[in-house]
Amino acid sequence: MTAGTTVTAPDGTEVVLGEIGTSVLLKNSRVRVWEVSLAPSEAQAWHLHHNPYVVLCLSTSPCHMDWLDGSPARHLSETVGGSVHRPVSPVHMLTNDGDAPYLNRLIELLDLGEEASGDPYFAVAGVPAEAGFEQAGEIPAKVVVDEDDVRVQHLTPEAGESYTWHTGANPALVVDLDLEHPDVTYLEPGESYALPAKPDRTSGFNLVELRYYSRPRT
C-alpha cells in the first residue's frame, strides 16, 4: 500500500496519498477487503491501487471519480447488489455527489497484483469444478460479473429463506449486503456456507468466485 507516499500532480502540486478505503474488514494472503463509506458530498483521499479489485455496492448514491493526471472525470451510478471488476488504475479519488450515503465493499485481488504473496496454490482433489447450491429448483440469483478472473452472483432470498452454497475448485467470498449485518466471509475450495435467513427481505448477498486460480500458476 502507498498511503503516506507523496506524488506530484502534472501542475507540480505535491499530493500525499491516502488509503483506498475507510477500513479493512478482512485480510489474508489472497485478498484484502475494504469498506468504502462516503457521506453526501464527502470525498476519498487521492489513492493508488496496486492490485486489481472488485467493487460490490451496498448503498448507492451518484458519484464521480477524478484522476490526478487530469483525465476526464468518470461519473458512476451503481446499483445495490451490482459489481464491477477493475484493473490497476492511476491515482484517483471518489466523491459522493448525491444526497444519500455511499457504501461498498472493495476486494483487492492480491495474487493478481504487486502484493502477491507467492504462496503456492494447489487444487483440492475431489472438489467439483463449479460452485453451486445445495437446494434444487430455481434459485433467486443472477450473475452480475462473468469474466475469466472473477464471477459474481447476486442472490436475493425472500424473508425467511435460506440457501446453502458450495464453492467449487476456487476460493470465494460471501458478502452480506444487509446493512444491519454486513458480514464478509472467505471460503476455501470445497467449503460450504449457509446463508442466514432474514426476518425481512434485504438486499441479499454477493457470491464472489476467484476464477483465476483455475489457471496454471507461474
Strand partners, 106: 34, 55
- Give pLDDT, residue 12: 87
- Give pLDDT, residue 199: 94
132-210: CATH, from 3.40.50.720, 2.60.120.10, 2.60.40.680, 3.90.550.10:
2.60.120.10
Strand partners, 186: 173
Cα 1 from chain centre: 17
Task: Tell me the C-alpha distance between 82 and 70, whole Å.
Answer: 28
Domain 5-112 is in which class? mainly beta
- Give pLDDT, residue 41: 97
**Do 132-210 and 5-112 fall under one CATH topology?**
yes
Task: Tell me the C-alpha distance between 150 and 163, whole Å.
Answer: 22
Domain boundaries, the chain: 5-112, 132-210
Going from the first residue of the chain to its last (218 residues), give the mean pLDDT of each consecutive group of 10, the final group possibly shorter. Answer: 85 92 95 97 95 97 95 94 93 96 97 89 83 92 96 96 95 95 94 95 96 71
97: Cβ contacts below 8 Å, ≥ 6 apart: 41, 61, 62, 63, 64
- Give pLDDT, residue 1: 64
Grid coordinates of 188? 476455501
